[in-house]
Amino acid sequence: MNLKGRNFLTLKDFTTEEIIYLLDLAAELKAKKKRGVPVDTLRGKNIALIFEKTSTRTRCAFEVAAHDLGMGTTYLDPSGSQIGKKESIEDTARVLGRMFEGIEYRGYGQEIVEELARYAGVPVWNGLTNEDHPTQMLADMLTIREELGRLKDVRLVYMGDARYNMGNALMIACSKLGMHFVACAPEKYFPAQELVAQCEEYAEQSGGTITLTENVVAATRDADVICTDVWVSMGEPDEVWEERIRELTPYKVTAKVMENAKESAIFLHCLPSFHDLKTKIGKDIYDKFGIEDMEVTDEVFRSPQSKVFEEAENRMHTIKAVIAATLGAV
Ligand code: CP
Ligand code: NVA
C-alpha cells in the first residue's frame, strides 16, 4: 500500500483497504510508542497546522505525532495568520507548500480545504470542516476495533445533529467499512440526501447498511456503539441553542439508551462534551435553560462503557499514521 503524496480530506477518497491499512499502521505505531520504540524517520521535515477554529485534541495530536516522527510544527491560530482576510487560500497554499512538507487545515467549508489541497503541492490533511472530520474517524474506528475486536457488521448509532461533520463522517466511515450506520435524530437533522445516496453505494459494496430514523428505542436496540456530539457546533450562532435543546433532548444519550443497546456496547464522543456544569458554556446554558447536561448524561459519560478517553488518545496514533503514510515514512 502506498499513500505517499495523497491528501487526506475525506474518507470518501479512500478505499476500504486503504482505510484498514491506516488503522493497522496506527495500531503498529501505537504499540511501538508503548514499547518505547522510536519512529522518527521524518526528521528534518516540517508541517504547518492551520486552525481557523479552536482545538485541543486535533492540535495536540498533530503536534505530538509530528514531534514523535522527528518533525517540526508551526501552529497558525484562528486569528494569527493572513488567511482569507488579507491573503487568498490559493496564495496561502502556494506559500506554505514551499516551506512545509504537509499542511493540516481546520476551518469552515470543505471547499476551502479542497482549494488548499489543489494549490499546495504537498499533502493537505483535513483537521475538521463543517462537513467532515476524517481524522476523527480513524480514531473512532481504531477504538471500536480495539474494544469490540471487529468493525464488520458493527451497529453504530449516532444520536443528535446528524447533518453536520460528525454525523456525515461517521456515515461515510461506516459505509466504507461494512458497518451498520444508524442516524437517530429528528428528520430535519438527517444527513443530506445526496451524501446518503453516495454512502448507500459504498455500503452496497462493503456489506454495510444505512438507516435514518426518529425512533430512539428501535434505533438503539442491540446497538454495538452509541455515539453523539455537541448539539451546536463551532461556527454556529448562539441563537440556535434554544431550538437545539428543545428538538434534540429526546436524543440525549442516557442510561436508558445504553441499557437498550447490547450489554457489550460502548459509548463514544469526539469531545469536547457538555455532560456537567464544569464549563463556561455548560453553566451559561444551565442559567438560561435549567439543564445540567446536554447530549449525554454525566452518568453515561463516566460509565465503564464510555471509551471517550481511549478515543481521544487514539487521535494521536491515527493522525501519526496519516502523516507517516502520506509523507512516505513507511
Ligand atoms: N474531537 C476534536 O476534534 O477535538 P478538538 O476540537 O479538541 O480538536
Ligand atoms: N461538531 C463539532 C465537533 C467538534 C470536534 C464541531 O464542529 O464543533
pLDDT tens digits for range 3-53: 999 999 999 999 999 999 999 999 999 999 999 999 999 999 999 999 999
Q: Which residues of 106-137 are buried (b: 16+ CB within 10 A; e: fewer)?
A: bbbebebbbbbbebbebbbbbbbbbbbbbbbb
Q: Cell numbers of 56, please?
A: 485541543
Count of beta carbons in the 10 Å neighbourhood of residue 69: 21
Distance 56 CA to ligand 2 centre (A): 11
Give phi and psi for 171, each to the nearest 5.
-65, -40
Name residue 284's amino acid. Answer: D
Q: How far is CA 168 from CA 36, 153, 161, 296, in A?
A: 36, 19, 10, 20
Decide: 135 in ligand 1 pocket, CB within 6 A.
no
Q: Which three cell numbers stand for residue 174?
A: 461506516
Q: What is the per-residue pLDDT for 158? A: 98
| CA angle centred on 279, ends 54 and 59, rounded to 5° | 25
Would you give the distance in Å from CA 252 to the centre of its chain? 19
Does 272 sit behind a cis peptide bond, omega within 30 degrees of 0 on the bond before it? yes
Among the residues of 36-149, which ranges form H helices? Answer: 57-68, 89-99, 110-120, 134-148
CA-CA distances (angstroms) from residue 167 to 47, 92, 96, 157?
28, 30, 31, 10
CA-to-CA dists, residue 166 to 35, 169, 248, angstroms: 32, 5, 15
Q: Of all helices (H) and strands (E), which one includes residue 21?
A: helix 16-35
Measure 43 CA to ligand 2 centroid, in angstroms.
32
**Contact predicate 26/141, CB 8 Å:** no
Residue with cell 485534541: 57
Q: In this structure, which ligand is nearest to the CA of 270? A: 1
Average pLDDT over residues 291-306: 98
What backbone phi and psi angles, to 5 degrees, belong to 159? Answer: -110, 135
Split at pLDDT 50, 70, 90, the class of 196 is very high
Pocket of ligand 2 contains residue 162 by CB under 6 Å:
no
55 CB near ligand 1 (under 6 Å)? yes
Question: Which positions ≥6 away from 28 have C-beta within 8 Å?
Answer: none
How far separated are the first and last CA of the chain, in Å rounded? Answer: 10
Q: How far apart are CA 206 and CA 209, in angstroms?
A: 9
Residue 49 has a pLDDT of: 98
Tell me the per-residue pLDDT of 102-114, one tens digit each, with 9 for 90 and over.
Answer: 999 999 999 999 9
Tell me the C-alpha distance between 203 and 171, whole Å: 10
Tens digits of per-residue pLDDT, 204-260? 999 999 999 999 999 999 999 999 999 999 999 999 999 999 999 999 999 999 999
Q: Whose C-alpha lies nearest to ligand 1, atom 7?
A: 56
Residue nearest to atom 4 of ligand 1 (CA): 57
- CA 28 to chain CA centroid, Å, is 20
User: Is 136 close to ligand 1, i.e. is its CB under 6 Å away?
Assistant: yes
Count other C-beta atoms under 10 Å from residue 290's C-beta: 7
Give me the percent of the chain exceeding a pLDDT of 90: 97
**DSSP per-residue letters across 195-229:** HHHHHHHHHHHHT-EEEEES-HHHHHTT-SEEEE-
pLDDT grade for 321, boundaries at 50, 70 and 90: very high
pLDDT digits (tens, 9 = 90+) for 48-103: 999 999 999 999 999 999 999 999 999 999 887 788 888 999 999 999 999 999 99
Q: Which residues are catalytic?
A: 106, 133, 136, 229, 270, 315
- Is residue 322 lining ligand 2, measured as CB closer than 6 Å? no
Specify the DSSP class assigned to residue 34: H
